[in-house]
C-alpha cells in the first residue's frame, strides 16, 4: 500500500465512524471525514486529527444519493490524489422502529438506500480507483486497498421492530464476500466488522433496555462496547498485516455471537 494511505470513512462526524477516523488519522492515514448533516461535528473530528499532526478534510455527502457518492469519491481523489481505504460505516436505524406488521416501504427504502445500496455502490466506485492505482503502481500491487463494511449483530439476531435494518445488515455479509472474491485479483482486501451494542447516539434512545440486557448477561463480556473498540478492529484490518485474509468478519460484540446453552 502507498506510504501515505488515504482513507475515506463514511459517517465519521459522530459515534463509531468518528472513532475510526481518529484511529486511522493517528496511524498516519490522510482522512476524509464524511457527514450528512453535522458539519460542525465533522470539522471537530478534522481538527482533532490535525492536532495530532495528521491530514484530514470534512466532506458532506449523503451515501444514499448517487450524485453525492460520485462527488465524495471525486473530491477524495482531487484532495489527496488516491484512495486506499474505504470504511462503509454510515448507517441509520429503522425510522420509528415500527413492528414488522406495521413497517412501511418508505422506511425500508430509506434504510436499504443508506445501509446497503449506498455502501455497495460506493465500494464499486472506490474499487475502480483502487484497481487503477494497482495497475499504475506495480511496487505495491500485493496490497493495494482495503474496504471495510460495518455491519451489525442485527444481521443475524432478529428484532421485529427493525426488520428493514436487520435484513439490510444481513446483506452486508454477502456484499463483503462478493467484493472480496471479485477484487482479490487487484490486491484489494475486503472485510466485515460486526459490532454488538456500542454506546453512541444511535443506541442512546434505547439505553435502558440495553443496560438491562447487558447486566443480565446478554453477552459474555458484560459491558457496553465503545466506538474505540470497533475503531481498533478497523485499525488492525487496515494495517496491511493481514495480506492473506479477505472476506473475514471480525466480531466486536463482547462475545455475543457465541451460542450458549
Ligand atoms: N451503535 C451500535 O450499537 C451499533 C451496533 C452495530 C452496528 N452499528 C452500525 O455502526 C454504524 C455507525 O453507527 P453509530 O452508532 O456510530 O451511529 P450514529 O451515532 O447515529 O452516527 C451515524 C453517523 O452516520 C452519518 N450518517 C447517517 N446517515 C448518513 C448518510 N445518509 N450519509 C452519510 N452519512 C450518514 C451521521 O452523520 P451526521 O452526523 O451528519 O448525521 C453520523 O456521522 C452504522 O452503520 C450502524 O448501523 C452500530
Atom of ligand 1 nearest to the CA of 165: 47
In a domain, 187, yes or no: yes
Q: What confidence score (pLDDT) does residue 207 get? A: 97
Q: Measured in angstroms, how far is the CA atom of residue 92 from the centroid of ligand 1?
A: 6
Q: What is the rounded CA–CA span in Å between residue 19 and residue 48?
A: 11
Rg (CA), the chain: 18
Q: What confidence score (pLDDT) does residue 134 get? A: 82
CA distances from 34 to 7, 11, 160, 163, 241 (A): 11, 5, 30, 27, 26
- Would the pTM of this model clear 0.95, i.e. be above it? yes
Q: What confidence score (pLDDT) does residue 2 get? A: 56
Q: Measured in angstroms, how far is the CA atom of residue 11 from the centroid of ligand 1?
A: 6
Secondary structure (3-state) at 163: helix
Q: What confidence score (pLDDT) does residue 142 get? A: 47
In a domain, 259, yes or no: no
Q: What is the CATH number of the domain that holds 169?
A: 3.40.50.720
**CB of residue 209 inside a 6 A radius of ligand 1:** no
The whole domain housing 40 covers 6-252
In a domain, 135, yes or no: yes
Domain count of the chain?
Answer: 1
If one residue of 166, 202, 204 were mutated to test the ligand 1 pocket, choosing by the most ligand atoms within 8 A of its CB, it would be 202
Q: Measured in angstroms, how far is the CA atom of residue 136 from the centroid of ligand 1?
A: 34
Q: What confidence score (pLDDT) does residue 243 get? A: 96
In a domain, 114, yes or no: yes
Q: What confidence score (pLDDT) does residue 1 get? A: 54
Q: What confidence score (pLDDT) does residue 141 get? A: 46
In a domain, 19, yes or no: yes
The secondary structure element, H or E, covering residue 248 is none
Give per-10-residue mean pLDDT for the chain (261 aa).
84 98 98 98 98 98 98 98 98 97 98 98 98 76 83 98 98 98 97 98 97 98 98 97 97 98 93
In a domain, 170, yes or no: yes
**Per-residue b/e over 91-115, b at no fewer than 16 CB within 10 Å?**
bbbbeebbeeeebeeebbebbbbbb
List residues with catalytic annotation: 165
Amino acid at each position: 500500500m502507498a506510504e501515505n494511505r488515504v482513507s475515506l470513512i463514511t459517517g465519521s462526524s459522530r459515534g463509531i465512524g468518528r472513532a475510526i477516523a481518529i484511529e486511522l488519522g493517528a496511524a498516519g492515514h490522510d482522512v476524509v471525514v464524511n457527514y450528512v448533516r453535522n458539519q460542525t461535528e465533522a470539522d471537530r473530528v478534522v481538527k482533532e486529527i490535525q492536532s495530532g499532526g495528521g491530514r484530514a478534510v470534512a466532506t458532506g455527502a449523503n451515501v444514499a444519493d448517487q450524485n453525492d457518492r460520485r462527488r465524495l469519491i471525486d473530491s477524495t481523489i482531487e484532495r489527496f490524489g488516491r484512495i486506499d481505504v474505504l470504511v462503509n460505516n454510515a448507517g441509520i436505524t429503522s425510522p420509528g422502529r415500527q413492528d414488522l406488521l406495521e413497517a412501511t416501504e418508505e422506511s425500508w427504502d430509506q434504510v436499504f438506500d443508506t445501509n446497503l445500496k449506498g455502501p455497495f455502490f460506493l465500494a464499486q466506485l472506490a474499487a475502480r480507483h483502487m484497481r487503477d492505482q494497482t495497475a499504475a503502481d506495480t511496487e505495491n500491487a500485493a496490497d493495494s486497498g482495503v474496504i471495510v463494511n460495518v455491519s451489525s449483530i442485527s444481521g443475524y439476531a432478529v428484532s421485529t421492530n427493525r426488520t428493514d435494518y436487520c435484513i439490510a445488515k444481513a446483506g452486508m455479509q454477502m456484499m463483503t464476500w462478493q467484493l472480496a472474491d471479485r477484487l482479490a485479483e487487484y490486491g484489494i482486501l475486503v472485510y466485515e466488522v460486526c459490532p454488538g451494542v456500542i454506546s453512541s447516539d444511535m443506541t442512546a434512545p434505547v439505553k435502558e433496555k440495553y443496560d438491562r440486557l447487558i447486566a443480565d448477561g446478554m453477552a459474555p463480556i458484560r459491558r457496553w462496547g465503545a466506538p474505540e473498540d470497533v475503531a481498533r478492529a478497523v485499525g488492525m484490518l487496515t494495517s496491511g498485516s493481514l495480506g492473506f485474509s479477505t472476506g473475514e468478519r471480525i466480531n466486536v460484540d463482547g462475545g455475543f455471537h457465541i451460542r450458549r446453552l
